Amino acid sequence: MKWFFGILQTGGIFFMSVVLIILLIILFLFVKGIIEKGENPKTAKYISYLGTFAIVWGILGQTVGMIEAFGVIEQVEDISPSLLAGGLKVSAYAPAFGFITFLISRIGKIVLLILKKDTK
């Protein structure tokens, strides 16, 4: 669990924590949808919207981080390839977490849609 919080901090606490909160809300809505047996179509819609937002938020985090990094590179002028690669790796954490959250939201939406069909 320590490694997870390390990645959250390394990937940018502001952007990563928002995606984490979205993931927790998606999981809550998924459990709520299972309890309701998929009867409320708004639950699946909210899960879908939140999953899409997670991707966009993660990509925004990467973009902001890259802009800041390029600003520093511009000032320093000479940078090693390994340092650049490390920065690019760190900038990929927020979108990767956003994509994982999106995939979880899609799986949750599919399960709720299947539950809804089974109850008819």
* CA–CA distance, 70 with 68 (Å, rounded to integer): 6
21 C-beta neighbours (distance < 10 Å), count: 12
The string of DSSP letters for the chain reads -HHHHHHHHHTTHHHHHHHHHHHHHHHHHHHHHHHTTT--HHHHHHHHHHHHHHHHHHHHHHHHHHHHHHHHHHHH----HHHHHHHHHHHTHHHHHHHHHHHHHHHHHHHHHHHHHHH-
Range of the domain at 69: 2-119
Percent of the chain with pLDDT over 70: 98
Q: Which residue has the higher pLDDT, 68 or 46?
A: 46
Interval 32-65: pLDDT, tens:
999 988 788 899 999 999 999 999 999 999 999 8
pLDDT value of position 120: 58
Which whole number is the average pLDDT over 19-36?
Answer: 95
Q: How many domains does the chain have?
A: 1
